[in-house]
A and B are shown apart, each in its own frame.
Chain A
């Protein structure tokens, strides 16, 4: 009897905890995206200099690497998540200002914003409805990410615009893969910490937005 009780109760409990991780992740992700957008708007309003982008990103990555691993399992992790996303949002200001100064700039920014939303919702919806296990993609995605970082580093010195566009296109593909991979990890119980999941999905959305902005700005035709 006890064995029967356990076999029935365990999947139900697992399902409840998976749904809780999904719910908490999407609530926190929504809140951080709104906060990030407000910080970006403030940064545009204050007309922050281009160096703001690098400094904010550098500070945010220091928090991700050094502080988040120690706080992800406590309530202080929430403060760290908002600090990271706030910094990254604030760093977007100079980039947005640059694109908004183009004649079709507002259209480019709005299209990149809407496009990112559609990509994220579409991929999340695909992973959630099919419930497929994309855990096999982990090694490929991280290796691809490393290759892109090395190529981007080389292109700082080479300065090839076509390579820069190719990097943005590959980043969109890799981040799309990360959305599938992360969502599948939540569905299949591979990740139970909604704070780290939020940061992971936020980074994918952020990178898709930046890359889309770059591609639309370069190929969108501002005459």
Chain B
């Protein structure tokens, strides 16, 4: 295990520790989705994944 891996592990661990309280708060405060709302979010994200696949084929 080299210094880069140790450093990465420390950085990721710190991110998890700092993000944890904010995640708990956001999970409590976020409103529930209404019918059809997820669809309006998933479609553009799927389009992004399709675009990434296209980029992979291009390179």
Contacts and interface: CB of A to CB of B under 8 A. Distances in A.
Contact of A119 (B26, B51, B56, B58): B51
B31 A135 contact: yes
Contacts of A134: 37, 40-41
Given A123-B44, A146-B16, A173-B49, A156 B58 contact: no
Given A51-B4, A138-B30, A153 B59 contact: no
A48 interface: no
Interface stretch (A14-22, A25-33, A57-65, A82-90): A57-65
A38 interface: no
Given A156-B9, A177-B41, A146 B20 contact: yes
B12 A149 contact: yes
A221 B12 contact: no
Nearest to B27: A139
Interface in B8-59: 8-9, 11-16, 18-20, 22-23, 26-27, 29-34, 37-38, 40-41, 44-45, 47-49, 51-52, 55-56, 58-59
B56 A215 contact: yes
Given A135-B30, A138-B26, A115 B11 contact: no
Interface size class of A (residues with CB under 8 A): 35 or more
Given A122-B47, A153-B9, A156-B8, 9 more contacts: A55-B7, A58-B7, A61-B14, A136-B30, A137-B30, A146-B16, A169-B52, A177-B41, A219-B59
Interface of B: 3-5, 7-9, 11-16, 18-20, 22-23, 26-27, 29-34, 37-38, 40-41, 44-45, 47-49, 51-52, 55-56, 58-59
Interface of A: 50-51, 54-55, 57-58, 61, 65, 104, 107-108, 111-112, 115, 118-119, 122-123, 126, 130, 132-140, 142-143, 145-146, 149-150, 152-153, 156-157, 169, 172-173, 176-177, 180, 212, 215-216, 219-221
Q: Which 3 A-B pairs have the closest CB atoms?
A: A139-B30, A220-B59, A136-B33
21 contacts: A50-B4, A58-B14, A61-B18, A104-B59, A107-B59, A111-B58, A111-B59, A122-B51, A123-B48, A126-B44, A130-B40, A132-B40, A133-B37, A135-B31, A136-B31, A137-B41, A138-B29, A142-B23, A146-B23, A156-B9, A216-B55
